[in-house]
Structure 1
Amino acid sequence: MIFSMLSRRFFCSGFLQERGLCTTKRWGVKQVTRSNLGPAVEQLKDQVQNADFIAVSVQCTGSHATPWRRILEFDNCESSYHKAKDSAERFQLLHFTVCPFKWSGDSKVIAFPYNFHLFPRDELRVGMPSYSFLCQISLISSMAQKGFDFNSCVYEGISYLSRAQEASLMQQYGSTRMFGAYPASSFQNKSTADINFMERIRFQMQHWIHACSASSNASEGRVVSSIETIALNNEIFGTRPCLRIDATSNHQVQLILEVLRDFTENLVPLSSSNGVGTEKELKVVFTCSEEDKHHLLSELQHQAEHQGIRDVINTIINSRKTIVGYNCLTDLAIIYSNFIAPLPATVKEFLYSLHGIFPHLLDVSHLLKEAYSKEISPTKKAKNLQAALLHLNKQFFLPMNLEVPLEFKCYGYRGPESHGYTALRLTYLFAKVCRLLKINSSNGTTDGWLEALVDYAGILYRSGTCLNKSKNEGEVVKLMGDSSYLKTSNIIFIWGFKIGSSSRILLEMLCNIHKVCEKGVKVQLVDESCAYVRFKKSRYAEIFLQDVQSGTNISGFAKSKPLEEITKMGLKAVRYDVYEKLCKSSIWKSNLADSFKLFMSESDDYMAHNFTMDIPSRKNSSFIIELEDL
């Protein structure tokens, strides 16, 4: 009896912990804002260096609520990428979670999770990265219920620029613009207040430069030096004299910079904000020579490249460690768009560029499919990270100890659904799948893990760069949850059927109107307005498509009367490549059928492109023997 009670208690505790329902007692995530960014980055550097893998995840202001705008199982690499690109460009990144982890034995993983709170604050007042973005109300409400502090996000969130934005800024304004350089042109129309303000700054600068020059040639007493420091707002920047000039607006900053153009001394202006962006102060550093000025600029440039979230990104990139994600195409697109550069136009360009940044990528969803194909049922039961973890725990008993250092526990927010736990759960899932597939490092090192996972890592790169297109065969794509490859030319999309129809009803309708639909057709609803149809052979898809578009039995395979009745009711069909072009376009409606209609009405070459293959009319088609059917 006692043994039974203890067993039940152990099982219930393990059951809850396996499902992440008791994570606050065991796990914590270090929440990083501007106030504790410096120490957190220094800790992260050491942990990344000693880690075997780095799990990453992002949290944006939402995701597309429209079903067809999400990445679906019939999407190929190109359409998937454009959907991910659209989400990355429309929604704003709020959380960037980084979790370096390392193995300690076969069933223990030590993780160091950090959740960086971000906000695109335009601190330099240069118009970047102040873009507008979409918010999904349901997700924002959910974040608020879980204790997310939006005030802290706005005021304490870490601001950032991408590499491309920084490069553009440097090219446009020169090497010192990041620290407040001289404006390219002076203001043409100045008010009387502007002129008086500039004269006051010019007078102050003349006295300060004279004082700096005099102090460099003669030693002064402490009393005189202190009086000058107070009177002139004189400070020390490192070992160099520095003058602090207060400004109440960006306009005044530009006027100050214009005044500095009149002085020939080696001055270096430094601008900074108070964090809220309403006021600024400008510091001017006095250098003793041109060589000293260049040395100071090099130091400032080095500091700019090695601070803040840029330092985090550079640490991850330079480590060359394997990056672990889950269905990570959208996450990678978001990371690339926010921290690297604008997203390229095609998936091949994106993956080529991404490979140079993250050479080792591992998507746990692919690893999980491999486990499912070998052990259990298809992965359609696990559509997201949480569902995958629950499904795996239900099917297998895989004890795994995920250890987080004690210092991280005090940083967790309330409740098991605290912010930044996604990367931690991803680490937990990855460790379990590795145990299930019996994947282990041969020598316990990072290189040993790379060797053990060589067949699973980089699947995203291989699937994106091995698109096999030809005029006859079309593009070959591997569908999610399917062990076979399928040509996209075998897929068509239909709409115009009765709203509320199920996939079974649609299949019966198609079999009633056309004979080629009796040859192993699969139908699946995309949303309530549109469905995609998979034919065994691309020739069958073309025959059906031509008959539906013409509304007549030109192929000889259609059942004429039902076909004419249904096409009169509005049944429409298009090829897969039309869907792919739709995903590339900026056209999107709440349902796929309306999106197709709008795209077709605005596309000039749609009709010419959509009728490229002629299907000859056939008489007595029931007596014709097709060689492909033998």
Structure 2
Amino acid sequence: MSLLLQRRLLCTNVHKKWKVKQVTKTNFQESLKELETHVSNSDFVAVSMEKTGSFSASWHRVLPFDTVEIAYCKARHSAERFQLLQFAVCPFSIADSNKFIANPYNFLLFPRDELRTGMPSYNFSCQTSHLTSMAREGFDFNACIYDAGVSYLSRVQESKAKMQIGNYMPCPNVNNSSSTSTTADTVFVERIKSRIKYWIKSCEKCGKSTSKDDALLASLRKIVMGSEMFGSRHCLTIDVCSDRQVQLILEMLVNFPNVVPLLVPGKGNTALAICLVLMKSKEDKDLFERERQKLEEEENKKLRGFREVIELISASQKPVLFHKCLDDCAFIHSKFIAPLPSEVNEFINSFRSVFSHVIDVNHMMKKFEAVRNMTSISAALLYLKNHFFATVDVEIPDQATTNGGKNDGLDALRICYLFMKICSILKISPCVTESGNKHLAAELQDFTNVFHPWTADSRELADESISIWANNTRKVNSEQLVFLWGVQFRITASMLKNLLQESHGIFSREFDVKLVDKDCAIVVFWEPGLSKAFINAMSNEQISGLLRELVSNGLRVASYDTYRTVCRLGLWEANLSESLDGALEKSDGEFSNICCHNDNVMNLDNR
């Protein structure tokens, strides 16, 4: 029986009773309330995502010889290029060491500009293999794009949207200004005070008027005074030119207890105007504050959309489980928080301010040496099933709430299941003594906040030691590695190694060869200094023998720094050799016109 068939049978037989609640626009709000309760009562939250693609060439994925910096460059490229269509969330609590209680949800997403603010407005790529796989599993693209997919804005986009739609904002607390008042300040305050007094008197007279003539005069008075209506209450808008004027008006309004000020936001953190709302009584003022807060929260929910889920998980401070931590965290940051920063340190600090503790179950699988290169959840479960006896029971109390028997979003549940299996086999206690991250088992802390899939501890960001093979823990400094390409015929790693041994005396020392893709290989010199010597030999005019013949036929070499430059500047060609050629041939500052292309990726202009 083939391994692929075994994996499918495992997922079908073990998980055939699992049901996931499908969430669309129609049931989003009610599901959000349920999810809030489930997250609050959970010990962990597992998440998984379905994207329009991940990488368009084999070398674009994070490889064992990538430093943390380069791994982040690749994850950022993927997150900025592709789009999320599904986001599965599964809060679960530990019943005992062999049982967990799960409440899985699967959210259908689409970045639709529902508020006509121009956001989100993405151009994103779709990888045909991903779309084909989703279609085979029954994903409804029509429902997602037309009406069922829940839209969202990131935190940064929400701030911009609020300025565009001109939502009123509550004024800050008044602090007496320490600066000395000028003559201009005094004149400004007296003018505004006089205007407010006259406006209040006009509103009071308008309320007492009963005849048609008085109603006409009241209407004319409103026009002259610029008075408007804020719901059922009178309001007056006063334009401001500076924060100083805002401060002066707020200080002066202490003398008008029945007037509530609201800021009209402008660009940046400035205010365009202050809207003064006239209250009828203290009770009316309290009612207005409650109405305003409720209206503001409703508007904010419309702006945030699905991001309400992200904020809910963030506020809970529960540990969050991922299967591909770096990739998924980059997507979450890009879509729901802010544009991804250029530096990995800044990204990690920013992301940890949202999710303080993340656990990568794929990194936990690295404890099993035989499967250090395994990246599939189903393959990992199959391996553990065939090699270890570890019974895990799952209870899903809300199965009856699922829609139509769909099983989209099962990966989040599988992550929970895999996590419990690993904990059982490794004798790690998954129990949380109290709610919160500080009470995780000590063994789990070793798998927490590790953002590089192949590095034992990505918190050591300055470490240039890298692995070459997924199943070999031997480390080497990145300076001892070179990239080789331009061999005119298809060749295996062992054949290339033999060819190099015959070409130059440098290769009499210990070295290894690994193919990166069909056209490019890496050469690892286990002794320091040999990589630089080899690069110098390649450019030496006195080169002779087989190495000279190889160079004449197109053999090229580049240092690890060149590879780092390729990734930092985004030279994402389909073949690594083309990207390295571009980095070597282009001088500094000439990278702006280089773009990536791939026949298997199509660009969708979401207008």
TM-score range normalised by the length of the shorter chain? 0.7 to 0.9
1:36 — aligned with what? Answer: 27
Task: Please list the CA deviations of residues 427-462 of structure 1 after superposition, one character each: whole Å capped at 9, or x if unmatched.
Answer: 111110101100015775455434341222122388
2:296 — aligned with what? Answer: 301
2:534 to 535, 544, 549: 544
1:528 to 518, 537, 543: 518
Please tell me whether the aligned partners of residues 103 and 398 of structure 2 are also in contact (alpha carbons under 8 angstroms).
no
Partners of 1:540 and 1:525 in 2: CA distance: 20
Structure 2: 5+ residue runs without aligned partners?
A: 1-5, 170-202, 211-229, 234-258, 263-274, 591-607
Q: How does 1:156-171 map to 2 (within 5 A)?
A: 156-171=148-163
Residue 85 of structure 1, CA deviation: 0.5
Residue 117 of structure 1, CA deviation: 0.7
Secondary structure in 2 matching 1:397: coil
2:248 — aligned with what? Answer: none
1:193 — aligned with what? Answer: none
Question: Does the C-alpha gap of structure 1 residues 514 and 149 become closer, same or farther in structure 2, counting only changes over 3 Å?
Answer: same
Task: Please list the CA deviations of residues 313-348 of structure 1 after superposition, one character each: whole Å capped at 9, or x if unmatched.
Answer: 111001111111112111110011000000000111
Task: Please list the CA deviations of residues 208-244 of structure 1 after superposition, one character each: whole Å capped at 9, or x if unmatched.
Answer: xxxx99997799xxxxxxxxxxxxxxxxxxx9559xx
2:334 to 334, 337, 340: 337
Please tell me whether the aligned partners of residues 118 and 153 of structure 1 are also in contact (alpha carbons under 8 angstroms).
yes
1:597 — aligned with what? Answer: 581
- Comparing 35-44 and 436-445, the one that deviates more: 436-445
Please tell me whether the aligned partners of residues 499 and 528 of structure 1 are also in contact (alpha carbons under 8 angstroms).
no
Task: Please list the CA deviations of residues 401-441 of structure 1 after superposition, one character each: whole Å capped at 9, or x if unmatched.
Answer: 12222435733655xxx421111111111110101100015
Q: Are positions 1:567 and 2:541 aligned together?
A: no
1:388 — aligned with what? Answer: 380
1:130 — aligned with what? Answer: 121
Partners of 1:399 and 1:535 in 2: CA distance: 45
2:362 to 345, 361, 365: 365
Task: Please list the CA deviations of residues 485-522 of structure 1 after superposition, one character each: whole Å capped at 9, or x if unmatched.
Answer: 32111111110013421111111111111233333212
Q: Are positions 1:466 and 2:460 aligned together?
A: yes
Q: Are positions 1:27 and 2:18 aligned together?
A: yes
Code of the aligned partner of 2:521: A
1:488 — aligned with what? Answer: 478
Q: How does 1:76-87 map to 2 (within 5 A)?
A: 76-87=67-78
Question: Does the C-alpha gap of structure 1 residues 217 and 332 become closer, same or farther in structure 2, counting only changes over 3 Å?
Answer: farther
Task: Please list the CA deviations of residues 606-626 of structure 1 after superposition, one character each: whole Å capped at 9, or x if unmatched.
Answer: 9xxxxxxxxxxxxxxxxxxxx
Please tell me whether the aligned partners of residues 24 and 412 of structure 1 are also in contact (alpha carbons under 8 angstroms).
no
Partners of 1:90 and 1:29 in 2: CA distance: 28
Secondary structure in 2 matching 1:109: strand
Secondary structure in 2 matching 1:527: coil
Secondary structure in 2 matching 1:34: coil
Please tell me whether the aligned partners of residues 176 and 297 of structure 1 are also in contact (alpha carbons under 8 angstroms).
no
Code of the aligned partner of 2:123: S
Partners of 1:566 and 1:368 in 2: CA distance: 42
2:66 to 66, 75, 94: 75
Please tell me whether the aligned partners of residues 551 and 564 of structure 1 are also in contact (alpha carbons under 8 angstroms).
no
Residue 104 of structure 1, CA deviation: 1.0
Task: Please list the CA deviations of residues 187-220 of structure 1 after superposition, one character each: whole Å capped at 9, or x if unmatched.
Answer: xxxxxxxxxxxxxxxxxxxxxxxxx99997799x
2:351 — aligned with what? Answer: 354
Q: Are positions 1:426 and 2:415 aligned together?
A: yes
Partners of 1:103 and 1:573 in 2: CA distance: 53
Please tell me whether the aligned partners of residues 112 and 405 of structure 1 are also in contact (alpha carbons under 8 angstroms).
yes
Question: Does the C-alpha gap of structure 1 residues 173 and 17 become closer, same or farther in structure 2, counting only changes over 3 Å?
Answer: closer
Residue 164 of structure 1, CA deviation: 0.7
Partners of 1:572 and 1:582 in 2: CA distance: 16
Give the % identical residues.
35
Question: Does the C-alpha gap of structure 1 residues 413 and 90 become closer, same or farther in structure 2, counting only changes over 3 Å?
Answer: farther
Please tell me whether the aligned partners of residues 96 and 431 of structure 2 are also in contact (alpha carbons under 8 angstroms).
no
Code of the aligned partner of 2:517: D
Pairwise CA RMSD: 3.4
Q: Are positions 1:504 and 2:498 aligned together?
A: no
Residue 286 of structure 1, CA deviation: 13
Residue 304 of structure 1, CA deviation: 3.6
Q: How does 1:76-475 map to 2 (within 5 A)?
A: 76-154=67-145, 155-171=147-163, 174-176=166-168, 289=279, 296-306=291-301, 308-370=305-367, 372-373=368-369, 377-380=370-373, 382-407=374-399, 410-411=402-403, 413-414=405-406, 418-441=407-430, 444-446=433-435, 448-460=439-451, 463-468=457-462, 475=464
Q: Are positions 1:518 and 2:508 aligned together?
A: yes
Question: Does the C-alpha gap of structure 1 residues 348 and 116 become closer, same or farther in structure 2, counting only changes over 3 Å?
Answer: same
Partners of 1:330 and 1:408 in 2: CA distance: 33
> TM-score scaled by structure 2?
0.73
Question: Does the C-alpha gap of structure 1 residues 448 and 604 become closer, same or farther in structure 2, counting only changes over 3 Å?
Answer: closer
Please tell me whether the aligned partners of residues 477 and 487 of structure 1 are also in contact (alpha carbons under 8 angstroms).
yes
Please tell me whether the aligned partners of residues 77 and 463 of structure 1 are also in contact (alpha carbons under 8 angstroms).
no
Secondary structure in 2 matching 1:509: helix
Secondary structure in 2 matching 1:368: helix
Question: Does the C-alpha gap of structure 1 residues 294 and 39 become closer, same or farther in structure 2, counting only changes over 3 Å?
Answer: closer
> TM-score scaled by structure 1?
0.70
Partners of 1:165 and 1:63 in 2: CA distance: 24
Partners of 2:164 and 2:541 in 1: CA distance: 58
2:192 — aligned with what? Answer: none
Secondary structure in 1 matching 2:522: strand
Code of the aligned partner of 2:534: F
Question: Does the C-alpha gap of structure 1 residues 537 and 214 become closer, same or farther in structure 2, counting only changes over 3 Å?
Answer: farther
Code of the aligned partner of 2:461: L
- Comparing 583-592 and 515-524, the one that deviates more: 515-524
Please tell me whether the aligned partners of residues 348 and 464 of structure 1 are also in contact (alpha carbons under 8 angstroms).
no
Partners of 2:532 and 2:476 in 1: CA distance: 15
Secondary structure in 1 matching 2:110: coil
Question: Does the C-alpha gap of structure 1 residues 587 and 439 become closer, same or farther in structure 2, counting only changes over 3 Å?
Answer: same
Task: Please list the CA deviations of residues 298-325 of structure 1 after superposition, one character each: whole Å capped at 9, or x if unmatched.
Answer: 4333334456323211110011111111
Question: Does the C-alpha gap of structure 1 residues 215 and 453 become closer, same or farther in structure 2, counting only changes over 3 Å?
Answer: farther
Please tell me whether the aligned partners of residues 7 and 382 of structure 2 are also in contact (alpha carbons under 8 angstroms).
no
Greater RCO, CA 8 A, separation 6+:
2
Structure 1: 5+ residue runs without aligned partners?
A: 1-14, 178-211, 220-238, 243-264, 269-284, 470-474, 554-559, 607-630
Question: Does the C-alpha gap of structure 1 residues 321 and 552 become closer, same or farther in structure 2, counting only changes over 3 Å?
Answer: farther
Partners of 1:501 and 1:146 in 2: CA distance: 38
Partners of 1:583 and 1:402 in 2: CA distance: 43
Question: Does the C-alpha gap of structure 1 residues 569 and 453 become closer, same or farther in structure 2, counting only changes over 3 Å?
Answer: same
Partners of 2:377 and 2:16 in 1: CA distance: 21
Partners of 2:7 and 2:572 in 1: CA distance: 41
Secondary structure in 1 matching 2:119: coil
Partners of 1:217 and 1:267 in 2: CA distance: 24
Code of the aligned partner of 1:321: K
2:565 to 574, 581, 586: 581
Partners of 1:577 and 1:106 in 2: CA distance: 47
Partners of 2:59 and 2:348 in 1: CA distance: 23
Residue 89 of structure 1, CA deviation: 0.6
